[in-house]
Structure 1
Amino acid sequence: MKLLVDIQGGHKTGYYLDQRDSRLATRRYVADKRVLNCFSYTGGFAVSALMGGCRQVTSVDTSQEALDVARQNVEINGLDLSKAEFVRDDVFKLLRKYRDQGEKFDVIVMDPPKFVENKSQLMGACRGYKDINMLAIQLLNPGGVLLTFSCSGLMTTDLFQKIIADAAIDAGRDVQFIEQFRQAADHPVIATYPEGLYLKGFACRVM
């Protein structure tokens, strides 16, 4: 995989290296599928989806600059640009619009920015995660897969899993947790600082 990276002006190192393993895992779920890539940034998951043989991938972000880089990342990897759509929009609003229009997807990647910076924000973050995952679950075809992540260190894996389960109940759907993710192995966790396990995620099959 080739990638354009803005080391000086980009987020973190210019590319979220901690999601390397999750991007690779995405390829197992996307063959001949319609994919929605939310909070896409520079298109790491979109490129992986195209490499995995997806039928079509829509990447959504509020930053046009990031979407432009995502388009270039598709091009420099020699992938079919006609299978990639880039949408500048607020994910929360767009998911509601898609739901109201009856849009459906086979795979949705939900990789939002950190929703919680301190303990006082945790409850609000829980509501945000629940809302956005409920919307995603509603947009999935039966048998579809939600790949959902939280990069908030204060959000434990158990709490995040409960939020997804509650979101499924509110969406009126059943989900199966079929795979669990964490940050890549080159992002180790110090034993005395459990919050260092900041990135967690699940692959959920939506029934």
Structure 2
Amino acid sequence: MTSDFTPLISALADAPLLNNELCRVFHGRGHSIEALSHINLDFYPPCLFLVSYDEIEPDTLTLLTNTLWQWATEHHPALITALVYQQRAGVQSHNALVHGTLPTQHSVKENGIGFLVDLMSKQNTGIFPDMRSGREFVLANSKHAKVLNLFAYTCGFSLAAMQGGADHVMNMDMSKGVLNIGKKNHQLNGFEKGVSFLPHDILKSFGKLKKAAPFDLIIVDPPSFQKGSFILTKDYQKVLRRLPELLNEHSQLLLCANSPALTEAAFKQLIAEHTAGAIEFVQRLAPTAGFIEVDSDKSLKALVYKSSGNAA
């Protein structure tokens, strides 16, 4: 690995840290600087969160973390109080608090919404920074809406919908653990009415969804791969086939895929093949600020569709 960390320091200097909101500081995974393409750096106030997808030699890692911490203590000692490193190479991820101290209960803000996060015990932190543009779309399109949030995880889209004035949000995820965090997120923001949490396998629960239909806004944001439950390339079409049953004539949909192997064109073709003309493409959301990608086909794809009026 290169020992030239100037791009990271430059990114820190340019990042909107004073907003005191979650943001991507350096997006190495976008491959704009090939020597640092395995590195991401995020700001989870009050913590810098450094992630590497390759193993870093110990001396180089020490130099890197010390360089970042020195900059933080010189420029924003009150704003940045910790540095966490996550090693994501191989099967097991490893998280370490390298400098400073973390809050006992750590929450971050995005557009005024609070999200509980955990930078130490899991690979995923509780929120995906790259999906900010998707949450902003939901926030702007939820007024008086009945919203369905599939593969809800910790319910970030639901929080955005509630902030945007949704009448009701139904969150479904097979993991009770992440939905419990989602409930706590809603409590944190005072969103305790007009929201439901269903710990079910989505592929086996369309009867429940059809009874609750139709929905004004549907979000589908599955994991690319979840052992034993969902494989994007095999299971997405099963969800798509049932979506027409859940629509009204004005429904909007946010269909997401975060697999580098699935191009935008292939994703659109998959959607067209399995929704029987019930929906039509509107737009692909622009990437969240800070997520510069050399190849947009390998980046997050968040596609907006609307009902074509041919819903079942």
TM range, normalised to the smaller chain?
Answer: 0.7 to 0.9
Structure 2 CA distance for partners of 1:158 and 1:56, relative to 1, 3 Å: same
Q: Is the 8 A contact 2:126 2:154 kept in 1?
A: no
2:214 is matched with 104
| Residue 184 in structure 1 maps to residue 288 in structure 2 | yes
Q: Is the 8 A contact 1:137 1:168 kept in 2?
A: yes
Structure 1 residue 102: Cα displacement: 6.7
Greater strand content: 2
Distance 1:14 1:48 in 2: 15
Residues 60-139 of structure 1: pairs in structure 2 closer than 5 A? 60-79=172-191, 81-99=192-210, 101=211, 103-115=213-225, 125-139=232-246
1:37 is matched with 149
Distance 1:86 1:93 in 2: 16
Structure 1 residue 78: Cα displacement: 2.1
Q: Is the 8 A contact 2:146 2:169 kept in 1?
A: yes
Structure 1 residue 181: Cα displacement: 2.3
Output the TM-score relative to the length of structure 2: 0.57
Distance 1:35 1:18 in 2: 21
Greater helix content: 1
Structure 1 residue 115: Cα displacement: 4.1
Distance 2:190 2:167 in 1: 16
Structure 1 residue 183: Cα displacement: 4.1
Say which SS state the counterpart of residue 2 (structure 1) adopts.
strand
Output the TM-score relative to the length of structure 1: 0.84
Q: Is the 8 A contact 1:147 1:203 kept in 2?
A: yes
- Structure with bigger gyration radius: 2
2:119 is matched with 7
Q: Can you list the C-alpha shifts for 1:53-101, whole angstroms capped at 9, x where unaligned?
A: 111001111111111111111111122x1211011000111124433x4
Distance 1:188 1:49 in 2: 26
Distance 1:10 1:83 in 2: 30
Structure 2 CA distance for partners of 1:87 and 1:57, relative to 1, 3 Å: same
Say which SS state the counterpart of residue 223 (structure 2) adopts.
coil
Q: Can you list the C-alpha shifts for 1:176-200, whole angstroms capped at 9, x where unaligned?
A: 22221254232222x3xx3773310
2:19 is matched with none
| Residue 200 in structure 1 maps to residue 311 in structure 2 | no
Q: Tell me which of 272, 275, 279 is aligned to 1:168.
A: 275
Distance 2:215 2:193 in 1: 17
Structure 1 residue 131: Cα displacement: 1.9
Structure 1 residue 47: Cα displacement: 0.2
> What one-letter code is carried by the residue in structure 1 that aligns with 2:238?
D
Structure 2 CA distance for partners of 1:11 and 1:38, relative to 1, 3 Å: farther
Q: Gaps spanning 5+ residues in structure 2: where? A: 1-112
Distance 1:16 1:39 in 2: 13
Distance 1:175 1:168 in 2: 7
1:145 is matched with 252
Q: How many residues align?
A: 193
Structure 1 residue 127: Cα displacement: 4.4
Q: Can you list the C-alpha shifts for 1:114-146, whole angstroms capped at 9, x where unaligned?
A: 049xxxxxxx74442222122123211121011
Q: Is the 8 A contact 1:182 1:200 kept in 2?
A: no
Q: Is the 8 A contact 2:172 2:199 kept in 1?
A: yes
Distance 2:182 2:198 in 1: 11
Structure 2 CA distance for partners of 1:128 and 1:182, relative to 1, 3 Å: farther
Say which SS state the counterpart of residue 74 (structure 1) adopts.
helix
Distance 1:132 1:94 in 2: 10
1:21 is matched with 133
